[in-house]
């Protein structure tokens, strides 16, 4: 017993079991003459799901497979109170009413006695548990159906008091009831025994009715039960169970045409499992048969071309993917009306490839074509619409328009929550995408919440080495990195990399994000040699995989420039930063946050080489873009204020410097955890200004705040700790506390010698500081 919601009445769940003859092979309920579209609501035109991951992105493209697919038929039950009903034998059911004979539990089925039920058009056996195992061509389904009377007005009645057979417990339902699948699972691992949980839908739901009619059109009525059951399982995201069914059918068939169809389905399953090499092998077998037996314009070829293109897209061979997708589109344009949903699928697929290649304007154009067709031809709660909303949202996210991205994602999520099981991989995709937006706008707690929802679904619904699971680990790691928890970030990043290394080719573009993210963690903890090693792997793969002006290459160059800057090699840093800026100016909108990052990085190098005029110019360009594209308390705005403040310090305008630093601290305190390293940097900056203004007591106070955070959040030999020790040493020296100054200078030198290159410019100055104070003792 459980509550439907806070105000709902208590109700119970009653199981009933049915089995099916081989020639019918449909999931049929006890004596139901009306086909209930329960499983139908989980079936649509077959799709292949494509995920995009770059740092923290996920993208889906619908790929129509033109193989014959069918609906499946299911049934229902309910009571308002708590009841249990024993099964009875030798009962003849009348043909017209919808009657369910339920069982108390499965143990009662161990007897070999069953009942034979007959109506005008079909026969169904309800048989023993043991007997099921002997039926080579049958399948048994236990339906557990729940009804909240407050959600549906469909009539039902307990009629056991009126039964002609003593002890028989029956429930009578109205004919128009429609149930929605909540879950499907095998019983005790037996492929012939399934448990299906159903929930009664509202009987006046117009959107559900429209969706049902559309799914009817998309399904194929000439498909038999086993094949149909596999389709249902695929639509529910249960790929392993579907695979068992199709492999069993493949073992039993000798017809080449049937084998081709099964190869097609197995290719789809392998694709969903992230096993792209196996997927390609099955699709090639299916395609070879079709090309030898079908005309070049046959729609059946379009489905194979689409699925082959999907595999090439996910292994990073975008030119081949585009070629196959365009062949599929050409066939569909000849064979289908201009507003057919299958045309929308092709436009989505081509848009996906352009998105992966960094051509966001083309991607958006194709996605919008797909959406326009779907809005004309599909009901508003169809899952393909959710896919298009997600795709368009992701393009806007990549273009830096996060509010538009979020608006599209929020259109997609309710559709998926209505039409998919709670652990379907497509829901993980939507949670990832929404998390990505919150990540970009600096709301890391919300981002982490959505990413963890996505990870939970992925862990339950995907194989342990699936690339999409790697994306979820990657995303969670990215948030921890931004929150300054580098140990947790590295742990998640390494899980993601391991999966990708196992499941993807060695030069796959998705590997670049993992190498880059791990490199960033090592850079943040001061291990620059390891950081550079990972960044160089990122660049090596990116140069092979992407066009020369792809935004991902800009990101890779920025990362290497960052490490060289940290190592004090400003000439090399400037070279990489300028490469990144050139690409960003060509490929991104003028107000994109990534363009701001490139301006910021170039400005940083000019600052390091004391060209303050150029530094200020680049920093102000970066700040202008961020003010246009980010919320007012975003952490990236804080960094711009800090950088500009530092320039003003170095040109001696301390009042302007302090003004910018105070804005930096204000934002950082609102947006970051209290022990975040960036907050320490902000305190250091204000301390530095007070130092320049001669207020050493205030300066020392802020330096000590910074040091306390760094001691909690950084490894003991981090270069930033050395800087803080050096700064505190200077304040102690200025207040003539030479003994304390000597102690801090010594720590600064010791850490610097361990963590910085031998030729780093900071080292000789710190040694001079130490010697000078020693001479004053």
Q: Residue 622: pLDDT above 90?
A: yes
Q: Is residue 129 part of a domain?
A: yes
Which tops the pLDDT comparison, 513 or 25?
A: 513
Residue whose entry in the numeric block shows the structure tokens 């509202």: 202
In the chain, what percentage of residues exceed pLDDT 90?
40
Is 143 in contact with 18 (CB distance < 8 Å)?
yes
Q: Is residue 170 part of a domain?
A: yes
Report the alpha-carbon distance of residue 686 to residue 684 in Å, rounded.
6
- What is the layout of strands, in order, in the sheet containing 156-158? 98-101, 170-173, 156-158
Give the total number of structural domains in the chain: 1
Q: Residue 405: pLDDT above 60?
A: yes
Of 264-268, 568-572, 699-703, where does mean pLDDT reach its minimum?
264-268
Looking at residue 616, its pLDDT comes to 97
Q: Is residue 439 part of a domain?
A: no
Looking at residue 364, its pLDDT comes to 94
Q: Is residue 143 part of a domain?
A: yes
Q: Give the list of residues 6+ apart from residue 434 with CB closer than 8 angstroms, or none.
A: 406, 409, 410, 413, 450
Q: Residue 166: pLDDT above 80?
A: no
| β-bridge partners, 235 | none
Residue among 462, 500, 453 at smallest CA distance from 314 = 500
Q: Is residue 398 part of a domain?
A: no
Report the alpha-carbon distance of residue 563 to residue 539 in Å, rounded.
13
Q: Give the list of residues 6+ apart from residue 12 with CB closer than 8 angstroms, or none.
A: 1, 79, 81, 82, 83
Q: Is residue 2 part of a domain?
A: yes
Q: Is 46 helix (H, G, I), strand (E, B) or coil?
A: coil
**What's the average model confidence in pLDDT over 27-48?**
30
Written as six digits, the tokens of 752 are 């610097």
Of 92-101, 320-329, 550-559, where does mean pLDDT reach its minimum?
92-101
Are β-strands 10-11 and 14-20 bridged in parallel, bridged antiparallel, or unpaired? unpaired
Q: Give per-residue pLDDT as tens, 575-585.
A: 999 999 999 99
Q: Residue 125: pLDDT above 60?
A: no
Q: Residue 113: pLDDT above 50?
A: no
Structural domain that includes position 14: 1-38+73-221
Written as six digits, the tokens of 441 are 């706008």
Angle, CA of 59, 65 and 70, to the nearest 5°: 115
Report the alpha-carbon distance of residue 713 to residue 326 in Å, rounded.
52
| β-bridge partners, 2 | 11
Written as six digits, the tokens of 68 are 């014959």
Instruction: Kindly indicate the confidence band of residue 144, based on its pLDDT and cuts at 50, 70 and 90.
Output: confident
**3-class secondary structure per residue, 414-460:** HHHHHHCCCCCHHHHHHHHHHHHHHHHCCCHHHHHHHHHHHHHHHHH
Looking at residue 211, its pLDDT comes to 61
- Residue 662's Cα: distance from chain center in Å? 37
- Residue 469's Cα: distance from chain center in Å? 8
**3-class secondary structure per residue, 340-380:** CHHHHHHHHHHHHHHHHCCCHHHHHHHHHHHHHHHHHHCCC
Highest mean pLDDT among 167-181, 431-445, 651-665: 651-665
Which tops the pLDDT comparison, 188 or 667?
A: 667
Q: Give the list of residues 6+ apart from residue 414 with CB closer than 8 angstroms, or none.
A: none
Q: Residue 43: pLDDT above 60?
A: no
Angle, CA of 248, 249 and 251, to the nearest 5°: 65
Distance set, CA 572 to CA 192, 536, 569, 578, 720 (Å) = 65, 14, 6, 10, 22
Of 86-90, 124-128, 245-249, 387-391, where does mean pLDDT reach its minimum?
86-90
Q: Is residue 374 part of a domain?
A: no
Instruction: Kindly indicate the confidence band of residue 117, based on its pLDDT and cuts at 50, 70 and 90.
Output: very low
Q: Mean pLDDT score of the chain, rounded to an integer?
A: 77
Q: Is residue 210 part of a domain?
A: yes
Residue among 466, 432, 425, 467 at smallest CA distance from 450 = 432
Is 620 in contact with 602 (CB distance < 8 Å)?
no
Instruction: Kindly indicate the confidence band of residue 188, based on its pLDDT and cuts at 50, 70 and 90.
Output: low
DSSP class of residue 109 equals G
Which tops the pLDDT comparison, 722 or 419?
A: 722
Looking at residue 501, its pLDDT comes to 92
How many Cα atoms occupy the beta-carbon half-sphere of 712 within 13 Å?
Answer: 15
Written as six digits, the tokens of 575 are 């070279």
DSSP class of residue 12 equals B
| β-bridge partners, 183 | 197
Report the alpha-carbon distance of residue 396 to residue 268 in Å, rounded.
29
Residue among 407, 408, 426 at smallest CA distance from 416 = 426
Of 20-24, 195-199, 216-220, 333-337, where does mean pLDDT reach its minimum?
20-24
Looking at residue 467, its pLDDT comes to 85
Q: Residue 766: pLDDT above 60?
A: yes
């Amino acid at each position: 017993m459980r509550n439907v919601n806070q105000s709902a009445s208590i109700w119970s769940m009653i199981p009933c079991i049915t089995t099916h003859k081989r020639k019918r092979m449909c999931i049929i309920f006890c004596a139901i003459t009306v086909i209930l579209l329960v499983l139908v609501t989980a079936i649509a035109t077959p799709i292949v799901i494509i995920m995009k991951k770059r740092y923290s992105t996920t993208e889906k493209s619908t790929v129509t497979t033109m193989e014959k697919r069918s609906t499946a038929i299911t049934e229902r039950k309910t009571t308002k109170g708590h009841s249990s009903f024993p099964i009875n034998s030798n009962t003849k059911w009348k043909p017209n009413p919808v009657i369910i004979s339920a069982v108390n539990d499965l143990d009662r089925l161990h007897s070999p006695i069953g009942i034979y039920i007959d109506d005008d058009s079909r026969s169904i056996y309800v048989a023993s548990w043991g007997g099921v195992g002997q039926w080579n061509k049958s399948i048994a389904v236990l339906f557990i159906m729940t009804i909240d009377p407050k959600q549906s007005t469909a009539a039902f009645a307990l009629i056991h008091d009126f039964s002609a057979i003593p002890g028989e417990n029956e429930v009578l339902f109205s004919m128009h009831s429609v149930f929605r699948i909540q879950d499907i699972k095998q019983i005790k691992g037996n492929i012939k025994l399934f448990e299906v949980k159903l929930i009664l839908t509202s009987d006046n739901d117009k959107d559900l009715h429209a969706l049902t009619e559309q799914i009817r059109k998309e399904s194929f009525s000439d498909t038999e039960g086993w094949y149909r059951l596999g389709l249902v399982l695929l639509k529910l995201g249960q790929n392993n169970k579907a695979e068992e069914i199709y492999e069993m059918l493949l073992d039993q068939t000798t017809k080449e045409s049937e084998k081709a169809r099964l190869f097609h389905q197995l290719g789809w399953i392998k694709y969903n499992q992230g096993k792209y090499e196996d997927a390609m092998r099955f699709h090639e077998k299916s395609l070879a048969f079709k090309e030898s037996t079908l005309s070049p314009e046959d729609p059946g070829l379009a489905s194979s071309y689409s699925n082959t293109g999907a595999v090439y897209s996910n292994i990073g061979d975008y030119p081949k993917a585009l070629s196959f997708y365009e062949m599929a589109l050409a066939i569909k344009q000849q064979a289908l009306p201009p507003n057919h949903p299958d045309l929308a699928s092709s436009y989505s697929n081509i848009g996906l490839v352009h998105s992966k290649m960094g051509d966001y304007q083309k991607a958006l154009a194709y996605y919008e074509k797909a959406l326009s067709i779907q809005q004309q031809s599909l009901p508003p709660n169809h899952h393909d619409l959710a896919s298009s909303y997600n795709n368009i949202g992701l393009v806007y996210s990549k273009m830096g328009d996060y509010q538009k991205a979020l608006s599209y994602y929020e259109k997609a999520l309710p559709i998926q929550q209505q039409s998919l099981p709670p652990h379907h991989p497509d829901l993980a995709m939507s949670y990832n995408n929404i998390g990505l937006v919150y990540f970009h706008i600096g709301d890391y707690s919300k981002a982490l919440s959505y990413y963890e929802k996505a990870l939970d679904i992925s862990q339950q619904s995907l194989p342990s080495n699936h690339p999409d699971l790697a994306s979820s680990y990657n995303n969670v790691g990215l948030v921890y990195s931004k929150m300054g928890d580098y140990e947790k970030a590295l742990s998640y990043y390494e899980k993601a990399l391991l999966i990708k290394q196992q499941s993807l080719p060695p030069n796959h573009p998705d590997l670049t994000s993992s190498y880059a993210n791990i490199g960033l963690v090592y850079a943040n903890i001061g291990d620059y040699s390891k950081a550079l090693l990972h960044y160089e792997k990122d660049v090596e793969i990116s140069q092979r995989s992407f066009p020369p002006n792809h935004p991902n290459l800009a990101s890779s160059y920025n990362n290497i420039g960052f490490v060289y800057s940290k190592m004090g090699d400003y000439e090399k840093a400037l070279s990489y930063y300028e490469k990144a800026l050139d690409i960003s100016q060509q490929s991104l909108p003028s107000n994109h946050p990534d363009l701001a990052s490139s301006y910021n990085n170039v400005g940083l190098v000019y600052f390091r080489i004391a060209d303050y005029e150029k530094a200020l110019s680049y920093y102000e360009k970066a700040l202008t873009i961020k003010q246009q594209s980010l919320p007012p308390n975003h952490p990236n705005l804080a960094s711009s204020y800090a950088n500009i403040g530092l320039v003003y310090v170095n040109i001696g305008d301390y009042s302007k410097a302090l003004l910018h630093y105070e804005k930096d601290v204000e934002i950082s305190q609102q947006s970051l955890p209290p022990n975040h390293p960036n907050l320490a940097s902000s305190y250091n900056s204000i301390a530095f200004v007070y130092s320049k203004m001669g207020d050493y007591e205030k300066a020392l106070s802020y330096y000590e705040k910074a040091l306390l955070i760094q001691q909690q959040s950084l490894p003991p030999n981090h270069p930033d700790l050395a800087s803080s020790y050096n700064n505190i040493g200077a304040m102690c020296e200025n207040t003539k506390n030479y003994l304390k100054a000597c102690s801090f200078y010594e720590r600064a030198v010791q850490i610097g010698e361990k963590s910085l290159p031998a030729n780093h410019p900071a080292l000789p100055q710190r040694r001079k500081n130490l010697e000078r104070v020693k001479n004053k003792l």
